[in-house]
A = this chain, B = another copy of it.
Amino acid sequence: MTLDDLFTPQARALTPPMYGPPTQPEGVPLISLAYGLADPALFPHEELIDATAQILATDLNAALNYGPNAPALLALVAQRLRHEGVDAREDQTMLAYGSSQILGLLPQVLLTPGDSVIIEAPTFLGAVTRFRMAGARIIGVPVDAHGMDVDALEVRLKELRRAGVRPKFIYTIPTFHNPAGVTLTLERRHRLVALAAEYGVLIVEDDAYVDLRFRGAPLPPLAALDRAGWVLRVGTFSKILAPGLRMGWAHGPKALIDRLLMFKVEGSSGPFLTHLVARFAADGRLDAHIAALSAHYAAKCDLIVAALRRALPDATFEVPDGGFFIWLRLPEGITASALTPVALRHGVEFLAGTRCFADGSGDDYIRLAFSEEPAARIEQAMCRLGTAIDELRPA
């Protein structure tokens, strides 16, 4: 008799992930543009200490004893959604420990092995891994300069319907896409929402970056265009406050929100944390902070774009209107897999495009996150990248 006999079949089949040592070679200290980290220079640490002091002065028991989420935070999320045109209700809104928790709970509510899920190609694979672990069949739809290719989506939906398959959901990052940096046009947004209703498929709208807009007017979220209840909108305070606080949210059909909450076994998302975030955000402080962040990241985006054009005059990429990423098509004949070790040797790290496609394609792309590193290091990183690429060019 062993302990392992006691595991459910699913739990027994799981293999704990292997974590190897980091790949950093000896020599040049690395500048990493691989991860979508926030810029610590803009963490509002004084304001967070203030907010902590304030909630412990005024809401001590509500913040530190057993209890529900801070009602003010749920109200704030719903109010921000209404400001974006979503007909938001607090009883259709939930808080979670990061949007990744919501994306991780989604399979428990929606997926049985063999179910189909439509994703973008490329996409944020962190979410897709969870769908795949639940046994989902993953179907990719291409992304171009205007976001998801909704014509291609319609073709896939038709094919699937002909085969008797109703996909469970479409996972999309419509605004300042990760990794592609692009934004779904208004026309495509309308079509996407119409297709979801026509085919009876849920849209999971992951709008992690939407508030970090560098230029232009905001577009309505899919959730604002949907009148038939086919959109779950997922958001986070990670990019607009601090990822380390782990505070995300979702808004959508009540039956879905209720079930996500039932699978969120620990109950609330923390009286202390939810009070802290609500207090930080109060009195316009969050909006002011978002404005400062957007200006800051916009300047870093301009800087990486200029540095990239200097270092790689033949580089092909869309300049994003917001977010954290440049999605770079490598010069003809150069692959991410060939470039990676050379770039590491020169002291620069990026995310290989293959890490953004469920089918492992994308070796002609790399993702550059300009969010975390300070300006001078970003410029240096682009020089190093240019040198590494030149080293690989045919003589």
Contact = CB atoms under 8 A, between A and B. Distances in A.
A256 interface: yes
Contact of A52 (B43, B52, B169, B230): B52
A395 interface: no
A63 B3 CA distance: 36
Interface stretch (A8-16, A145-153, A328-336): A8-16
B266 A66 contact: no
Contacts of A229: 3
Given A56-B45, A130-B265, A266-B101, A38 B11 contact: no
- Between A5, A38, A66, A243, the greatest number of chain B beta carbons within 10 A of the residue's beta carbon is seen for A66
B7 A109 contact: yes
A337 B230 CA distance: 45
B14 A38 contact: no
Which range contains the number of A residues in contact with the other chain?
A: 35 or more
A3 B65 contact: no
A202 interface: yes
B64 A4 contact: no
A215 B263 CA distance: 40
Given A14-B259, A97-B266, 14 more contacts: A6-B110, A6-B202, A8-B108, A8-B109, A16-B259, A17-B262, A38-B66, A49-B52, A64-B244, A97-B270, A98-B266, A101-B266, A243-B271, A246-B272
A67 interface: yes
A244 B6 contact: no
- Between A96, A202, A270, the greatest number of chain B beta carbons within 10 A of the residue's beta carbon is seen for A270
A267 interface: yes
A270 B101 CA distance: 12
A292 B31 CA distance: 48
A364 interface: no
A154 interface: no
Given A6-B202, A105-B265, A200-B1, A64 B38 contact: yes
A64 B35 contact: no
Given A14-B262, A40-B60, A65 B244 contact: yes
Contact of A112 (B8, B43, B100, B244): B8
A53 B48 CA distance: 9
A11 to B, nearest CB: 4
Nearest to A96: B266
29 contacts: A1-B199, A1-B200, A3-B202, A3-B255, A4-B255, A6-B169, A6-B200, A7-B255, A7-B259, A8-B111, A11-B108, A11-B259, A16-B258, A16-B261, A36-B66, A38-B66, A40-B61, A40-B65, A43-B61, A64-B244, A65-B242, A65-B244, A66-B243, A97-B269, A100-B266, A103-B265, A130-B265, A242-B272, A243-B271
Pick the 10 closest A-B CB pairs, nearest first: A104-B265, A1-B200, A101-B266, A244-B271, A64-B242, A45-B56, A64-B244, A16-B258, A40-B61, A66-B243
A109 B16 CA distance: 13
A59 to B, nearest CB: 10
A298 interface: no
A372 B67 CA distance: 13
